[in-house]
Amino acid sequence: MTARRPLSTARLAYLDQLEAVERLRVGILGGCPDCETEPDEMCAGCGRCQCHTHDTCTRPEAAARLRLALTDDTRETQ
Ligand SMILES: [Zn+2]
Ligand SMILES: [Zn+2]
């Protein structure tokens, strides 16, 4: 492995700033910078991010799909 030319201090500071700005942006818009969850990727059920386990939340997307399946079943059997 060849050693890479070390980044200059200015370049490192710039990258730090970029990351800080990105974290700020995600945080302000309602996302979570810690797990890099974009605002529109937050859990629709509980509004939390991937830092949480979501053990207790119902996920509307899955629930809606289940309800749809149940409705279809009911319709067919009646
Ligand atoms: Zn998070
Ligand atoms: Zn959730």
> What pLDDT shows up at residue 44?
84
Q: How far apart are CA 42 and CA 30, in angstroms?
A: 8
- The answer to whether residue 61 scores a pLDDT higher than 80 is no
Is a pLDDT exceeding 80 seen at residue 38?
Answer: yes
CA torsion angle 59 61 67 72 (round to 10):
-160
Q: What is the per-residue pLDDT for 57?
A: 85
Domain that holds residue 49: 9-77
Q: Is residue 1 part of a domain?
A: no
pLDDT band, very low/low/confident/very high, at 78 (cuts 50, 70, 90): low
Residue 23 lies in a domain: yes
The residue-averaged pLDDT of 15-25 equals 95
For residue 33, the CA-to-ligand 1 centroid distance in Å is 6
pLDDT-derived band of residue 19, with 50, 70 and 90 as boundaries?
very high
Based on the structure, what is the number of domains in the chain?
1
Which residues have their alpha-adjacent CB atom under 5 A from ion ligand 2? Answer: 43, 45-46, 54, 57
* Token pair of 31 as six digits: 């996302």
Amino acid at 16: D
Q: Are 22 and 33 in contact (CB under 8 A)?
A: yes
